[in-house]
Amino acid sequence: MNSKKTSAVSRERYNQVIENIDNLPSLPAIVSRLIQVVNSPDSSADDAAKLIERDPALTSKMIRLANSAFYGIPRSISSVASAVVILGFNTIRSLALSAAVIKMFSSVHSSVIDKDCFWKHSITCAIAAKTIVRHFMNVRMMDPESAFCAGILHDIGKLIFNEYVNDGYREACQYASANKISLLEAEKLILGIDHAEIGRIIADKWALPLDLEYSLVYHHRPQDADKLNDLVTTIHLADVMAHRLGCGLWENEYFNDEWKNTRTVLQLRDDDYKKISESLAENVEKSIEFFTIIN
Ligand SMILES: [Fe+2]
Ligand SMILES: [Fe+2]
């Protein structure tokens, strides 16, 4: 393919992607409102509970999750109000947002991306992110549930490619493999935009909070973020760990130099990595339960 033709094709695909994102549904009103409630310092647990109770499906998911082994809370929780108090605002936001996004893309045809594989990767990344944050709890100020939610959503741009420029995305994946370049570079080359940039457009469209937006945009290039460096580096590391655990989508998504940089930023020693990996392996089993309830 000559370069003129390549750029014309990628421009056309780029336009197709952007147009389709414009037509993407908004987040459900309850979820958008919940994000605002969680972000406002004046909100109470009661405000969040009242909002969730307006949606019976969300209410039932919330209560089932609060009682699941995934959260491991020793007492039984029977109301949304208790679930909000016990799980905390960020967990509630994380659950509502995850459920909405999973539902929104539930009809996506799995021709390039295997959807089960996609969500398994996302949930493994989310659990890894939460595990890393907990490991560094005493030295770094991050919220484990924000990291969890960022992990769930980090690759959402790939679902957009899969849904709207299916052939182009298949070509990008094959091109990356054949030419031994990263998938992100191949996306940019073949589709004119990569899934991290798609993340920025979606974050903007859905008015996602900054921690999520930055995680979507910078999870492959944490060094480029002008703030929230610890969080985006954590999501990056979590993503790499999910791949190393065999829960990746493509083998050439990461290279070793990125891995080394990440370890340097987080000052991750071998024994930290070993502990995080062990804890992650134990928790990944529970991810199936999370997905079953939220789906
Ligand atoms: Fe990614
Ligand atoms: Fe990923």
Q: What is the pLDDT of residues 266-284, one digit of tens each?
A: 888 888 888 888 888 888 8
Q: Tell how far the Cα of 251 is from the centroid of ligand 1, in angstroms.
A: 12
What beta strand segments (E) does 8-129 contain? none
Q: Tell how far the Cα of 42 is from the centroid of ligand 2, in angstroms.
A: 34
Q: Tell how far the Cα of 50 is from the centroid of ligand 1, in angstroms.
A: 35
Rounded to the nearest integer, the mean pLDDT of the chain is: 86
Helix axes 156-164, 166-179, angle to 10 degrees: 120
Which residues are within 8 A (CB) of 100 and not within 5 positions of it... i.e. 6 or more apart?
27, 28, 31
Per-residue CA distances from 5 to 1, 44, 119, 138 (Å): 7, 56, 35, 54
- In the predicted model, is pLDDT for residue 251 greater than 60? no
Q: Tell how far the Cα of 154 is from the centroid of ligand 1, in angstroms.
A: 6
Q: Tell how far the Cα of 284 is from the centroid of ligand 2, in angstroms.
A: 15
**What's the half-sphere exposure (Cβ side, CA atoms, 13 Å) at 78?**
0
Ligand nearest to the CA of 242: 2
Q: Tell how far the Cα of 160 is from the centroid of ligand 2, in angstroms.
A: 14
What are the extents of the domains in the chain?
3-294
Residue at 53: amino acid letter: E
Ligand nearest to the CA of 196: 1
Q: Tell how far the Cα of 123 is from the centroid of ligand 2, in angstroms.
A: 10
- In the predicted model, is pLDDT for residue 222 greater than 60? yes
Ligand nearest to the CA of 125: 2
Give the rounded distance of the alpha carbon of 30 from its chain centre.
Answer: 20
Residue at 171: amino acid letter: E
Q: How confident is the model at residue 37 (pLDDT cuts 50, 70, 90)?
A: very high
What is the pTM assigned to this prediction?
Answer: 0.88
CATH domain 3-294 topology = Hypothetical protein af1432 (1.10.3210)
